[in-house]
A and B are shown apart, each in its own frame.
Chain A
Amino acid sequence: MTGKLVLENLKHRPLRTMLSTLLISVSVTLILTLVGLSFGMSEESQHRQSSIGADVVIRGSTASSVISFSSASIPEGAIPKIEQQPHVKMAIGVMNHSLDFPLVATGVDLPRFDAMSGGFTYVDGGPLKKPDDVLIDKDFADQKEKHVGDSITLIPNQPWHIAGIIEPGKLARVVVALKVLQQLDDVGNKVSQIYVKVDDPGDIPAVIEELKKLMPANDIRSMQEYIDAFSVTAIKGVKPFLSVMISVGVFSGFITVWLSMYMVVLQRTREIGILKSLGASQAFIMGIIELEALIIGFTGTIVGILLSLLAHWLIFHFVPASIPMVVKPFWWPIAAGIALVASALGALYPGLSAARLDPIEALAYE
């Protein structure tokens, strides 16, 4: 009977029910989308790094965190010295140049990069040949509606010729010749980071040990350690960011439900008086207000999940080269928990107000 009473109440004010549900769903969508973007950014970076084929990464002394690209501060002259170290098979230097966030152009010595990584897979066109040649990945090409042979401006007053379109997921979305990028940025013969491949994975610790002696000022890690540092839980700032977003979700859900259920109590004061005249206890009145809020919270969660899937679809289809969003179903119950807790808390005060209404005053309410 309680369930029927609550469902009929929800059906009786469809607009209010729909708006409350939508407002809750916005919180859920916000949480799931930001979580999806955080994980997407992290997983994409991990994938890009792991596909290079290196075993050790050497970064500039100015690198502060894994997601920040250091400026080109490592002299290229270090590369031959690194290659002379025992168990080192080869080393390559790359340079990064930030474009419109989150896009980065990476300068490489393409033949050496191909030798280390196995090379790019070309969807169309081919490797870099001329100084103004650029490789872009398929997502970026689709987003910009560009084809091989087209011109593209990535840096102001610097048109590039698209030589090839590559499969996404390896190194960077935009790849140019290392020497060209060094000249453009006027950094001489310096690189942002050096990737090192060793003879055998078992030699990695020994190689790192030697490289640390050779380059004591630099950040030197195994590729596995470097990739692990890209995980959502490891990147500084992501956990607090997610915590803040969850708090915002709980707060906005709480306020939504609080206002909605407060309106309910005002609109139904007389009905609450009727129920009290029939012998409804304070717990019963509280229960129907809470149950109504929880149903709104649950429905809002379902709608929120669907909206987050829509956001994923929109990003994937219209801006595939922006921050990638991934769907994380294990976050659905967490988002549901957040929405339900917010709903239950939001309904607490209105529910208590309703439960404490004087039956005579409530019955006289017009």
Chain B
Amino acid sequence: MSSPAIIQVTDLHKTYRVGEVDVPALRGVDLEVKAGEFLSIIGPSGSGKSTLFHIIGALTPPTSGQVRVADQDLAAMTDAERTRMRRRTVGFVFQKFNLLPNLTARDNIAVARYLGGSDANKPDPQFEGALSLLGVAQRLGHKPNALSGGEQQRIAIARAIVNRPAILLADEPTGNLDTENSRAVLEIMRGLNQRLGQTILMITHNPEAAAYGHRTVQMRDGKVVG
């Protein structure tokens, strides 16, 4: 792949303070993800993959090391700058879907558009096309509690890509889904990657799910091991 790197992680460390004890979560991670790549990160619980996800997603700052995402240095960012980055540069898909329960599917997506600085009511033909690809165009008027797990995750994906982020970050996106819905969601993600060139970084426990990516990176004990 000759595309430029959209994520560059060098000697990344992250240590959490739990009570009076320092707990190292990342112990020198090096990683490079090229634009348009679909990367799977696999590893056991406690391997540090979620921490890596949170740092790349600008949810928390690194303790040390370099992290560049879409030409932005995350290590040097303030809280407010990380907040701004989350609006348009990254989109999240979570294991528990994390839709706002009080809002309809349409409004969940509209909130992301609004926070991203777009007019939530302005039609977006390209996004409407993506909604068709996700197969949820008929379910937009429902609230999350009226949607199946598969439908909720598709809405979550729609919300994650509505602002055309440089990177789609997916944390165990099939962890709460049955086999059929898991396959459908993974196919959707592969479709987004292939048709729209969406860069995807997916964390998973499941080797079958990881196989949907172009390549798989293994983590253990806070390091990339393969």
Contact = CB atoms under 8 A, between A and B. Distances in A.
B13 interface: no
Given A360-B54, A360-B60, A271 B110 contact: no
B38 interface: no
B103 interface: yes
Nearest to B171: A363
A18 B141 CA distance: 26
B211 interface: no
B59 A277 contact: yes
Nearest to A4: B107
B100 interface: yes
B111 A5 contact: yes
B110 A360 contact: no
Nearest to A358: B60
Contacts of B98: 270, 273-274, 277, 363
Contacts of B102: 5, 8-9, 11-12, 271
B115 A284 contact: yes
B127 interface: no
B36 to A, nearest CB: 23
A278 interface: yes
B103 A8 contact: yes
B103 A281 contact: no
Interface in B49-87: 54, 57, 59-60, 80, 83-87
B69 to A, nearest CB: 14
Interface in A267-286: 270-271, 273-282, 284
Contacts of A279: 83-88, 115-116
A15 interface: no
Given A278-B86, A280-B83, A1 B54 contact: no
B203 interface: no
Interface in B101-148: 101-103, 107, 110-112, 114-116, 120
A277 B111 contact: no
B115 A359 contact: no
Interface residues of A, number: 25
A187 to B, nearest CB: 72
Given A359-B59, A363-B98, A277 B92 contact: yes
A293 B118 CA distance: 27
Nearest to A281: B83
A11 B107 CA distance: 15
Contacts of A358: 60
- Most chain B beta-carbon contacts within 10 A, residue among A8, A270, A273, A358: A8
Contacts of A280: 83, 115
Contacts of B111: 1, 5, 275, 278
Interface string A216-256: 00000000000000000000000000000000000000000
B86 A12 contact: no
Interface of B: 54, 57, 59-60, 80, 83-88, 92, 94, 98-103, 107, 110-112, 114-116, 120, 159
18 contacts: A1-B120, A5-B103, A5-B107, A9-B102, A11-B102, A12-B101, A271-B102, A273-B98, A274-B99, A276-B83, A278-B159, A279-B84, A279-B86, A279-B115, A281-B83, A284-B115, A359-B60, A363-B94
Of all A-B residue pairs in the complex, the 10 with the closest CB atoms, nearest first, are A279-B87, A1-B114, A279-B86, A8-B102, A12-B102, A279-B115, A274-B98, A359-B59, A278-B115, A278-B112
